Structure 1
């Protein structure tokens, strides 16, 4: 108070503030406020700009987490089983898959492959020879037969001791990985949830949302952390994302967020590789690869100077393309090169040119050669292939893995990583830990949803941001989702369904919610 003027820190100046003079008379006061000059509307702060896309991310994460998480959980549980299936298969079928050279021999006195084929054909005289897998050291030889009663990509396999010719097993084999029935059954659950071809939609939906939930979750978790103080080291925010302390829902959220931060790269990897052979998106990706010449090449199986005979009996218009080798011959037409001498010549050349285990495949069209390709086994990063003239045993064409397009090589490696076969048991352990982490995150996500619920109900989605002009961040996010929805149509359809569901939820909440307070009369 100076000269009868009292300065109030918020109101302004007060002349002669109310009180008592020395003579105890009442003092009246006059308040003078100083109006702040009109200021222009402040621009949006970066925090305000981020609020719109952050709330969009939260709502998307909520709806996808609640609805798609069961699909992801099924894929993760079956994936955990499938990760270790190759090793389990080796243990449970050890006697059928392995063979030992007789004592006192050097292991080179194996029976001719044609003798093994003859023995296997006596077990299945009505089936057509589909190939022979010549095993490596200590492995049995598999003679493969086509059976029209078996599912697609499945053949009948007879396992024989290459030294004695003893039949050590007779079962089915699936796909290029040579999966036996147990691994095939687990793979079918992972791929279709044992629902047949329509079930592939489940795995594709789970794969397409897994990466989105991973990236969106890490972005939200990053933004949720408090920035370190000035002068603090930059990694402090990362360390904050990896904290797991606290109690109750806080601890659950931190476990969920920290685990997601650690495995986000693996989840993106599973999405990319899972979509590669999916039902809908896989077709789109395959078309793109073909147009860019990124497809997996194949060895040319045509014989020099020979004419291929198509199922109609006419000369093949596309002679030289091995892709036509799955056509059946007309009734009464026999394909040359399936006699015992041809089989042994081809097998000898294949073992000299390639690494075992190697699979030799007979021609199914007159005028074609046998083909031989190295099998996909652990720690084998390349798979060469040759075409062999069955009449002379000479190589007519060769395709080395080094000559594949880079995209085709990467696709092959990534798929084998996804299947757990590229690096053997270490590969399987990493996949198993990744699957276990995803299972835990799904469970923690539902725990957070459950503990957040109001009394007598279920927790709803986060409130959306008020309608306003879209920010740059929102436009970028929406554009990315639209582009991804085109590449992965099942993601686009379900994402649109979530947007509609979110709108209906808000409308129902406004319509049926009870007012929190009674308006004044």
Structure 2
């Protein structure tokens, strides 16, 4: 393979040969193209590395969130199956006593008889005057989960959902715990990651070379050469998985995600029953609502097995119906929405993910694929391996730069001899701005700064 770091130390020298001027011109153009691509690959890798490391490490951690949480919270989640369960109404009273005077907001139930019942309550009474003091990273107040044994009524313990380890991991992954600004930075790193893969494939391209260093990485030799091989060759084999993981991640992004959602809504493919209000049938004034036990019995009748988790928000408006999203392993593709009349406890509607319009289903598929949920454990393992591989690719790239940089200098790639951005380069930026807006805008900014800096350099040279 060509050594892109040669350009850090020695300016390219024109080759003297007997080839025709047309052939020489073609080689010169190819060399210029290589330098331009290499330069963009280098800057993208260096500038996004810190964010990329956070996103990939947290992504790798979050893949097995369900399994790790179940193991860690075993004492809160699992109970000995008894002969008779306490009513949900009574459990609600016991949980309410734990958080009084704060009112409970909801309940989480599993069809599994060996699982505890959890109630949800805010950590403090809602005060509109203190709205600005809420947790800005999550954009909402914090909530306590209180776990009870449904056979004995014993309070097993509680935890703050937003302070949970995996809640923090997810916040780091999505927004670097910096709110909207962090989400844009994360989208920037993800978009540049896709460009890194594309430019990396171009730089790897064999160009007549065979086997070692191209298809098979070396394991012996100088450290830099070994690092370069493992960075380039390993990166090539992970490109398909990396594109899938990063591409589907953009469905969560501020700009790309919002644009896709707006397109889905404009096409009339949003999920109206999922997000529309659930309304109970009209009843006479003063009619008594159904008991919590009746409502939960109806919801549990729609479960698909003991792996379902059924979170339910208590209704406070007399016209509303209960609305629950049954979920398995946090897989959005397995969501089932069930609405229940609050007075009769009868089922109003049942909507599975597969029942939604096509474009909205694409969004749900993307979310599940990104989280490694789409086909269960095999895709979780693939998502984990891909996250680790992306992290190592970024680390080895930075390591190579640090190892090869000349003493006392930055070691940044030299500007191509022509100095100016070729016309096709501006076209690439334009296309990137359309397909990956955040990356395209940042590319335009870098290109303009580079152009200005080049003019300043030439003016200094002329002086």
Establish whether TM, by shorter chain, passes 0.5: yes
Corresponding residue of 2:208: 227
Q: What is the CA–CA distance in structure 2 between the aligned matches of 1:384 and 1:55, rounded to whole Å? A: 52
SS in 1 for 2:214: helix
Corresponding residue of 1:168: 156
Residue among 147, 166, 170 paired with 1:159: 147
Q: What is the CA–CA distance in structure 2 between the aligned matches of 1:364 and 1:77, rounded to whole Å? A: 41
Residue among 270, 273, 280 paired with 1:303: 280
1:101-128: CA deviation from partner (whole Å, max 9, x where unpaired)? 03xx4xxx32222222221111123334
Q: What is the CA–CA distance in structure 2 between the aligned matches of 1:349 and 1:481, rounded to whole Å? A: 55
2:460 is the counterpart of 1:485: no
- 1:122-271 equivalent positions in 2, closer than 5 A: 122-137=97-112, 138-146=114-122, 148=126, 151-152=138-139, 154-173=142-161, 181-222=164-205, 225-227=206-208, 240-245=214-219, 246-271=221-246
Q: Relative to structure 1, is the Cα distance of residues 469 and 502 closer, same or farther in structure 2, using a 3 angstrom cutoff?
A: closer
Corresponding residue of 2:91: 116
SS in 2 for 1:373: strand
Q: CA deviation at 1:217?
A: 0.8
Q: Relative to structure 1, is the Cα distance of residues 379 and 187 closer, same or farther in structure 2, using a 3 angstrom cutoff?
A: closer
Q: CA deviation at 1:499?
A: 0.9
The count of residues paired between Structure 1 and Structure 2 equals 425
CA contact (8 A) 1:289 1:295 kept: yes
- The CA RMSD over aligned residues, in Å, is 3.5
Q: CA deviation at 1:450?
A: 2.6
Q: Relative to structure 1, is the Cα distance of residues 199 and 469 closer, same or farther in structure 2, using a 3 angstrom cutoff?
A: closer
TM-score, with normalisation over the residues of structure 1?
0.72
1:259-317: CA deviation from partner (whole Å, max 9, x where unpaired)? 2112212322232232222233332222122212343443451223479xxxxxxxxxx
Q: CA deviation at 1:386?
A: 1.9
SS in 2 for 1:170: strand
- 1:286-297 equivalent positions in 2, closer than 5 A: 286-297=261-272
SS in 2 for 1:240: coil
1:2-32: CA deviation from partner (whole Å, max 9, x where unpaired)? xxxxxxxxxxxxxxxxxxxxxxxxxxxxxxx
The worse-fitting range, judged by mean Cα deviation, of 423-432 and 139-148 is 423-432
Q: What is the CA–CA distance in structure 1 between the aligned matches of 2:287 and 2:364, rounded to whole Å? A: 33
2:335 is the counterpart of 1:383: yes
CA contact (8 A) 1:378 1:422 kept: no
Q: Relative to structure 1, is the Cα distance of residues 452 and 508 closer, same or farther in structure 2, using a 3 angstrom cutoff?
A: farther
Q: Which has the higher helix share?
A: 2
SS in 2 for 1:375: strand
CA contact (8 A) 2:66 2:329 kept: no
Q: What is the CA–CA distance in structure 1 between the aligned matches of 2:287 and 2:327, rounded to whole Å? A: 25
Q: Relative to structure 1, is the Cα distance of residues 81 and 336 closer, same or farther in structure 2, using a 3 angstrom cutoff?
A: farther
Q: What is the CA–CA distance in structure 1 between the aligned matches of 2:121 and 2:435, rounded to whole Å? A: 38
2:449 is the counterpart of 1:497: no
* Unpaired runs of at least 5, structure 1: 1-39, 175-179, 229-235, 308-333, 515-521
1:233-269: CA deviation from partner (whole Å, max 9, x where unpaired)? xxx6799334334433222211111121122123222
SS in 1 for 2:270: coil
Q: CA deviation at 1:409?
A: 2.6
2:321 is the counterpart of 1:345: no
TM-score, with normalisation over the residues of structure 2?
0.80
Q: What is the CA–CA distance in structure 2 between the aligned matches of 1:75 and 1:513, rounded to whole Å? A: 42
Q: Which has the higher contact order (CA 8 A, sep 6+)?
A: 2
